[in-house]
């Protein structure tokens, strides 16, 4: 397990839900955190949780559904900490429950934009710097969702994230930029809904495992946060 002291992590979608827990977990490991929500004031609750832990905290805002929103995040990092060591692509949206052939194309486009293309855009923005500095951890949130055609855009977006992560991991081999996926489990959040199997706190400490990997450790792998939980 490496030390995260002096490292800087951007956690997209850390204003609530799983991302909030990830940001809190990283902060408890003395990692500086860049919090993100669609609007700056959405970060307030998470900021309150991590303040007082002796780390630097930055807030960035941007809608991952738009190019302007993505650029706002990239600019926020440039104007704040200047670079990113750990990129947690956590933010995502779930499409409305709809029969697959009745799901309109704009819903497919929006879901893939936020869940896949924005992930790629942020990797494009931050991975080259990680490679130059010979340190990086990229963690892309995936899902164990299986054969749920009413949620096809969401499921397809996560399958694509899995494949993209594996391609990026191969491309980053021997650079100490490790690219892995994390399945948090079915969690009771706004996205997971009230019937989720696990409370949000159970994503810790497992969600931190891919950030704490030793240099040149596993890459292109899938981690399950629930494998590491303290309680059921």
Ligand X SMILES: NC(=O)c1ccc[n+]([C@@H]2O[C@H](COP(=O)([O-])OP(=O)(O)OC[C@H]3O[C@@H](n4cnc5c(N)ncnc54)[C@H](OP(=O)(O)O)[C@@H]3O)[C@@H](O)[C@H]2O)c1
Instruction: Give the one residue of 16, 28, 83, 221 binding ligand X; rule: CB under 6 A.
Output: 16
**Residue 141 touches ligand X, criterion: CB under 6 A:** yes
| Residue 58 CB-half CA count within 13 A | 23
Stretch of 23-31, 96-104, 179-187, 223-231 lying at the interface with ligand X (CB under 6 A): 179-187
Tell me which residues in 65-104 interact with ligand X (CB under 6 A): 65, 90-93
In the complex, least distance from residue 132 CB atom to ligand X, rounded to whole angstroms: 27
Stretch of 120-128, 131-139, 181-189, 214-222 lying at the interface with ligand X (CB under 6 A): 181-189
Name the strand (E) or helix (H) holding 34.
strand 32-37
| Continuous H helices in the chain | 17-28, 44-50, 67-79, 105-112, 118-133, 152-171
Stretch of 13-21, 80-88, 119-127, 129-137 lying at the interface with ligand X (CB under 6 A): 13-21
Residues in contact with 84: Cβ distance below 8 Å, sequence separation at least 6, in sequence order: 8, 9, 10, 34, 77, 126, 129, 130
CA distances from 71 to 1, 80, 122 (A): 33, 14, 9
**Residue 64 touches ligand X, criterion: CB under 6 A:** yes
**DSSP-assigned beta bridge partners for residue 32:** 8
164 alpha-carbon distance from chain centroid? 14
| Closest residue to ligand X in the complex (CB) | 17
CA distances from 7 to 34, 59, 224 (A): 11, 16, 23
* Euclidean distance between CA atoms 139 and 225, whole angstroms: 12
**Residue 199 touches ligand X, criterion: CB under 6 A:** no
**Residue 25 touches ligand X, criterion: CB under 6 A:** no
Instruction: Give the one residue of 4, 8, 10, 18 binding ligand X; rule: CB under 6 A.
Output: 18
Catalytic positions, please?
Answer: 154
Q: How many residues bind to ligand X according to rule CB under 6 A?
A: 28
Instruction: Give the one residue of 108, 186, 222, 228 binding ligand X; rule: CB under 6 A.
Output: 186
For residue 210, the 8-state DSSP code is G
In the complex, least distance from residue 77 CB atom to ligand X, rounded to whole angstroms: 15
Instruction: Give the one residue of 4, 9, 10, 17 binding ligand X; rule: CB under 6 A.
Output: 17
**Residue 42 touches ligand X, criterion: CB under 6 A:** yes
Sign of CA dihedral 59, 136, 17, 204: negative
Stretch of 23-31, 124-132, 187-195, 214-222 lying at the interface with ligand X (CB under 6 A): 187-195
Q: Applying CB under 6 A, which residues contact ligand X?
A: 13, 15-19, 37-39, 42, 63-65, 90-93, 114, 141, 143, 184, 186-187, 189-192, 196
């Amino acid at each position: 397990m490496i030390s995260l002291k002096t490292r800087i992590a951007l956690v997209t979608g850390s204003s609530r839900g799983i991302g909030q827990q990830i940001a809190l977990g990283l902060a408890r490991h003395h990692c500086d955190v860049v919090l993100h929500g669609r609007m700056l004031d959405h970060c307030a609750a998470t900021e309150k949780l991590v303040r007082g832990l002796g780390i630097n905290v930055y807030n960035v805002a941007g809608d991952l559904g738009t190019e302007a929103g993505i650029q706002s995040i990239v600019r926020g990092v440039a104007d704040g900490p200047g670079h990113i060591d750990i990129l947690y692509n956590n933010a995502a949206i779930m499409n409305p429950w709809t029969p697959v052939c009745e799901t309109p194309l704009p819903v497919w486009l929006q879901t893939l934009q936020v869940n896949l293309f924005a992930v790629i855009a942020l990797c494009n923005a931050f991975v080259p710097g990680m490679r130059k500095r010979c340190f990086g951890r990229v963690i892309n949130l995936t899902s164990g969702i299986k054969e749920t055609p009413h949620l096809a855009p969401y499921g397809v977006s996560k399958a694509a994230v899995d494949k993209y992560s594996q391609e990026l991991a191969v491309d980053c081999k021997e650079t100490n930029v490790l690219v892995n996926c994390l399945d948090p489990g079915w969690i009771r959040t706004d996205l997971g809904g009230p019937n989720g199997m696990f409370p949000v706190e159970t994503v810790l400490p497992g969600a931190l495992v891919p950030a704490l990997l030793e240099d040149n450790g596993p890459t292109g792998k899938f981690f399950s946060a629930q494998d590491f939980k303290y309680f059921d």
